[in-house]
Structure 1
Amino acid sequence: MINNYCEVTTKTAIDLAYAIRGKNTKEKIELPKYQRNLVWGKQKKEKFIESLKLGFPVGAILLHRQGEKNGVINYLIIDGLQRTTTIFDYLDNTTNYNLTTDLQHCKSELDALIAKLKKYLELDSETLADVIQEYIGSELVSGFEEVKGYSAFQLNKFLSSKYSKALNEKALPLDSLNTEYSNILAKLKEKADIHDIKTPVIEYSGPSENLPDIFTRLNTQGTQLNKYQIYAAMWEKSKIEIRNNNIIELIKKKYEDINEKGLSIGNDENLDIIKDFNIFEYLYGLGKYILTLENEKYKTLFKPETSEDDFQDIESYIFVITNYVYQAYEDDQIVKMENLDKFISKINQNSFENAIIHCIEETYSILAPILTFSLNQNKSKNLTFVPISEIQIISLIVSIFKFKFNKQLKLKTIDKTEYSKLKRNILLYYWFDICDGKWDRSTDTQLIETIRNDRYLKDISLKSWDLLMDKYFNEQLSRRHKERTNISKKDILFLKYLYSNIVSAKSEKSKTNYHIDHIIPVSLLKKKAQNLDSALPISAIGNLCLLNEEINKNKGDKTIQEYLSEIPDSDAKKVSKEFEKFIFLKIENLNGIVRKNISEDNLLEFLTSRHKEMKKVFYDSFEIK
């Protein structure tokens, strides 16, 4: 006989909010410890609320009915935490959300106000709606009550201030506009209200031991959770005593933060006395602990440029690193992540934590000459990005672990020559693999093979380098535009490698800024492209160089030859040497090519020539032969 443990119902937004905050006298909703963090960003929250208002399907919230106690039915959220918390966040902080869609339903009220405002201001309904949205999102308003700034008086004050010049510093007459203001505010409050909007809910009343499996099955169907969060459900009952008090405090902080948001954890215990946590909690806390040690340093290593909604916390890396450390520990035998709890239970925690931190520190120090090489226009545009995938960084860290640590998680006696080779190769493979796109669609199998075969101990052949660099340079010639374009992250990374041995440590310490400049000015090539009615490789890597900030600013949009001809002869010789150092060409070699009437053939000839010089400089810098 098939068991039917599920019942489909609906709950209003206000009922859900009250239940999850314990204000509902009939129902209480909690969340299990293996649920993910509250990670939705503002954009996702607003899209979800907009979908609710439009009546679009938003997916059911899955609750586990745990029984009744003192007349209150208790539930656990199995799926839908983000949606549920967004609902009660919106109910509490409606004016923090974009209400433009709701204002579109207030057109008649907006038009009535515009008709009255004509004596003083010329506004259309769209502009007025934007201004009202600006008012609602301002510090003047903190809620839909008059005492929180939501009033005709405050709206009039806001409009008068915004258009003070057009009004000759006079305030709009509140008495004659009060009715129209009040009508708009009342209508907007009505349209923004979601209290009675219903959300589909599935209530599961089956055995609680099925919950981790249900949670895993739900989330393997999509991309809601990353891998470690899926397996976390399987470790719910695997308790260990955590020795590191700093990690314990960070786990407690997570739950305190959740409680502050009005949520409660299922089967909660007194966090002040508990030391037994599960593997999920331990590794989560370890990830957070590592960030407290060298916050900015590790963020540089672990935080790729992503949107707010896609941000990958460091604990994600720690879970996967631990899994592959486990595999290296087992002599490269295939291991299952769901058995990670058994590995953690049998090792010395302190040794394990020190080993992980050591390998992360080593990885950072190897890549630091590139990661810390700052190419900046100003402090707000510091080009210290990390174009690296999660699996690539893990492959580096675990390879170092495998080389340096034994089964007791202690440092081995290592061959220093071999380790120097490993460090050199890691730095080179970092660029080689990013340029080649090796990790763009990486898989677990690829990571396993990289670690098992000790890939980073094997030198990249000269033939492989030639094929890669020639392909890279040829692709540059095919990237054509008629306007200035953003320089790609890959190109910026190559420039960092290219100039890392040219820009001295002394220059870095003196905080000398280096700008990326076009050797043949963009303005000249733009004009040429327009005349030819044909796109050109304006920002090909061969046309890019680094220049001292002061020289670059003084040079402006001139060609190098034009700039040198305008400065005193006493300075020109010194500046010429600086240019030659950074463009890898003699100034006289530019005379026949870099000129105002440059042809497309001249440009391609120049780029091809400089590509060869760049390749030579790169090979010499890193002793590739």
Structure 2
Amino acid sequence: MNNKRNSTMETLNNIKTDPKLISIKTLIDNKENKILTLPHFQRNKVWTKKMKDDFKETLKKDFPFGSILIHKKADSDKQTLIDGYQRLSTIEEFCKQPFNDLKWNDLGVADDYFVSIFDENIKKYKSFQKFFVENLKEIKNNLDTYTIVENTILQIFSNEKIDQNQVFIKASKITKEISTKILEIKSISDEFQNKQIPVIYVTTFKEHGVITDIFTKLNTSGQKLSKYEIAASDWENIKVSIKDYEKSQLAEEIINNLKNKYDYYEHNKHKTGIQMNKNFNDIVFNEEIDLFELLFGFSKVLEENSTNLFNKTKNQKIDIFEEGFELINYCLGGTNKTFSKLNDLFIDKFKTNEGLVSLSKILLFFKNVNIVTKSVNDYFLEDNTKILLGSVNNKNISWGKTKNDNKLLKPSKFQSISFIVEIFKSVFKNENDFNFNDSDNDIVKKIIKIIKDEFYIGHHFIYDTFTDLFSSSSNKTVDAIVNENKFRYSDFIPKEEMKKVIEEVIRKYNNSVSHTVRPKIDKSIKIIISIAYNGIWNKNLNNHNCNIDHLIPFDLNKKLNKKIKINSLGNLALLNSTSNSIKSDNDLLRLIQENKFNKTDVSNWTFLEENDFKLFSFENKEESEVEKDFEKLANIRENEIKNKLLNFLYKN
């Protein structure tokens, strides 16, 4: 009964994990018999010699290390390695080729003695070192150290006459010095096969695709892999010829991005501990790349042209720009759930009559995606649109203490993707919509004009941000654009609907933000303040920064026993740095009376009439009066801010 219940629970949960100790020999045999397979995405990355040596020491001393993870489908005997490739490949290499990473210095011999064996001929000794290590690596079975030494001596004296007795003497002396160390290495290698190591078997019962998420969360290699790298294990059926790629500027950029990637791994292998067993010269020689390499190279082009829409990767030379892969997938008609079949989309769209994949057709598609991406990116650089991203008169606002606090805002990842995908599908309904004698910059200008004339991107950016439409990691909105042609960004948002959303954002902010610590301004409030202060600080702005601060000082709330919502939007104002320094924690009304501030200027940046200035005064007032005036101040200013936002959006 218990077994039946456990089986039912496993099926309902879809996943069963089973930790075991498995002999190294069993794992190697399973791999050789193709019971255990390695995903394509792991095969190119290997450990450096130092990393391998460190791990061998861990095994020799029986130190603990992370488990190997193996995936099994409940209805199949086949197994797939999902984590532990570097460990398993190092173990396998040492068991089958124990001398593969051997260097002469590893043998620990006395150089002076060996030089004397070669009659003080250092050049001959160096040659012997080189060829002996190479010959040793070639030995698969029946290790005979003397024979390898003898053959190496004959090899380095091949162009000279040498007495056979001299060969015997030299070989005997050398063998005596190194045979113990060589046999020790071989013995350790043989013993390794009997060792048991920790393995966790992960069995899935139905939704096997979940293993992708498991890998990305549990990967211990230090190299975070995207779902596209993992999916690439099924993309091996596509090879793209890059012969004469220099004829296309876009193709050159793609290939150059690949060169940067492979060169980075080669130059930094000792720092990262990872090296590629493929290099850029292989690409040049074969005049061919695979689909993943093609997409990686182009995604890096998109990364450079979308800096206002997406965050850059940490290491631009090697990190996956996932947003680029998403864009390619969606613009081709794929969905979030079908990304693993992206190779099929490429075959359907770009195959030639000869059954090959056409690079020229792919490049035309890539060019269109790149142009639309650049158009949407540049649209958000326009003065009126940049305001939406937390800018005042094209200068960043100082919202907080860190650089990240003060960066321009960006649409969310999927929000930006949805902008690009909908405009791409609207603009490029067929490939002849534009005169391709035009330069790319001319086409970008035309598309930006289309965005302004036919779409409400800015309105939807605000509305969708305020309603948290893209807060989920799933991308149902983009899926709907692709699957059902549910285009939304050409739809007008009524003013009353926008007004309700703005009011709700302000209400939520005032009620949720802490009033005991200085506020961290959220994205929605930054947008509201940026738009509200559009045009306010025109004078001398080039010489000043703008800072967010309180009209009634933050510290006053402590004296009032935290009775007022000091961080309410209605108490926040945007001041240039000079004004902010003068005001500090002083009573603003007193500063006006002392002629340190001009009444008209204060009216402009507080959004208050002169007869309401008394509301932000707090000196010589009873606490109850301060509380009462604060509430009026917040209400008046929040209504003014809301109206300024609506007037900006619906001025026509």
TM-score (norm 1): 0.60
Alignment counterpart, residue 498 of structure 1, candidates 512, 529, 532: 532
Asked if residue 453 in structure 1 is aligned to residue 486 in structure 2, the reply is yes
Deviations 1:1-37 (A, max 9, x none): xxxxx996467xxxx9xxxxxxxxxxxxx98653499
The answer to whether the Cα contact below 8 Å between 2:390 and 2:409 also exists between their aligned partners in 1 is no
The answer to whether the Cα contact below 8 Å between 1:431 and 1:494 also exists between their aligned partners in 2 is no
SS at match of 1:277: strand
Pick closer, same or farther for the CA change 1:202–1:466 going to 2, 3 Å: closer
Asked if residue 324 in structure 1 is aligned to residue 336 in structure 2, the reply is no
Give the distance between the partners of 2:43 and 2:630, measured in 1 at CA: 54
Give the distance between the partners of 1:37 and 1:542, measured in 2 at CA: 57
- Tell me the residue number matched to 1:230: 230
SS at match of 2:229: helix
Q: What is the one-letter code of the residue matched to 1:278? A: D
Q: CA deviation at 1:602?
A: 2.9
The answer to whether the Cα contact below 8 Å between 1:477 and 1:540 also exists between their aligned partners in 2 is yes
Q: CA deviation at 1:547?
A: 0.8
- Tell me the residue number matched to 1:278: 290
- Tell me the residue number matched to 1:357: 370
Q: CA deviation at 1:436?
A: 0.8
- Tell me the residue number matched to 2:264: 257
Query: Which shows bigger deviation, 465-474 or 361-370?
Result: 361-370
Q: What is the one-letter code of the residue matched to 2:288? A: D
Query: Which shows bigger deviation, 588-597 or 219-228?
Result: 219-228
Asked if residue 337 in structure 1 is aligned to residue 345 in structure 2, the reply is no
- Tell me the residue number matched to 1:159: none
Pick closer, same or farther for the CA change 1:230–1:507 going to 2, 3 Å: farther
The equivalences for 1:60-75 within 5 A come to 60-61=68-69
Pick closer, same or farther for the CA change 1:422–1:591 going to 2, 3 Å: same
Q: CA deviation at 1:228?
A: 2.6
The equivalences for 1:72-83 within 5 A come to 79-80=83-84
The answer to whether the Cα contact below 8 Å between 2:372 and 2:424 also exists between their aligned partners in 1 is yes
Give the distance between the partners of 2:468 and 2:586, measured in 1 at CA: 36
The equivalences for 1:112-511 within 5 A come to 200=198, 218-221=211-214, 223-224=216-217, 225-242=225-242, 243=245, 244-260=251-267, 261=269, 262-265=274-277, 270-291=282-303, 293=304, 298-303=306-311, 315-327=321-333, 337-342=342-347, 343=349, 345=357, 348-368=361-381, 369=386, 370-371=388-389, 373=391, 374-376=396-398, 380=403, 383-386=406-409, 388-408=411-431, 411=434, 419-423=451-455, 425-441=456-472, 443-450=474-481, 452-479=485-512, 480-504=514-538, 510=542
Percent identity over the alignment is 23
Unaligned 5+ segments in structure 1 are 1-5, 17-29, 39-51, 65-75, 88-196, 205-212
Cα RMSD after superposing both structures: 4.8
Give the distance between the partners of 1:608 and 1:590, measured in 2 at CA: 14
Asked if residue 515 in structure 1 is aligned to residue 547 in structure 2, the reply is yes
Give the distance between the partners of 2:420 and 2:481, measured in 1 at CA: 12
Give the distance between the partners of 1:86 and 1:549, measured in 2 at CA: 59
Alignment counterpart, residue 555 of structure 1, candidates 579, 583, 599: 583
The answer to whether the Cα contact below 8 Å between 2:587 and 2:617 also exists between their aligned partners in 1 is yes
Greater Rg, structure 1 or structure 2? 2
Give the distance between the partners of 2:552 and 2:332, measured in 1 at CA: 53
Pick closer, same or farther for the CA change 1:58–1:580 going to 2, 3 Å: farther
- Tell me the residue number matched to 1:163: none
The answer to whether the Cα contact below 8 Å between 2:418 and 2:477 also exists between their aligned partners in 1 is no
Q: CA deviation at 1:448?
A: 2.4
* Corresponding pairs, count: 443
Q: What is the one-letter code of the residue matched to 1:563? A: L
Give the distance between the partners of 2:476 and 2:212, measured in 1 at CA: 22
Q: What is the one-letter code of the residue matched to 1:582? A: W
SS at match of 1:348: helix
Q: CA deviation at 1:215?
A: 10
Q: CA deviation at 1:577?
A: 2.4
Asked if residue 572 in structure 1 is aligned to residue 597 in structure 2, the reply is yes
Give the distance between the partners of 2:569 and 2:511, measured in 1 at CA: 11
SS at match of 1:486: coil
The answer to whether the Cα contact below 8 Å between 1:250 and 1:285 also exists between their aligned partners in 2 is yes
The answer to whether the Cα contact below 8 Å between 2:226 and 2:320 also exists between their aligned partners in 1 is no
Query: Which shows bigger deviation, 433-442 or 251-260?
Result: 251-260
Deviations 1:381-426 (A, max 9, x none): 6612435432111001112212222432753898998642445x11
Pick closer, same or farther for the CA change 1:217–1:528 going to 2, 3 Å: closer
Give the distance between the partners of 2:583 and 2:44, measured in 1 at CA: 51
Query: Which shows bigger deviation, 236-245 or 426-435?
Result: 236-245
The answer to whether the Cα contact below 8 Å between 1:323 and 1:337 also exists between their aligned partners in 2 is yes
Give the distance between the partners of 2:90 and 2:412, measured in 1 at CA: 30
The answer to whether the Cα contact below 8 Å between 1:517 and 1:545 also exists between their aligned partners in 2 is yes
Deviations 1:129-161 (A, max 9, x none): xxxxxxxxxxxxxxxxxxxxxxxxxxxxxxxxx
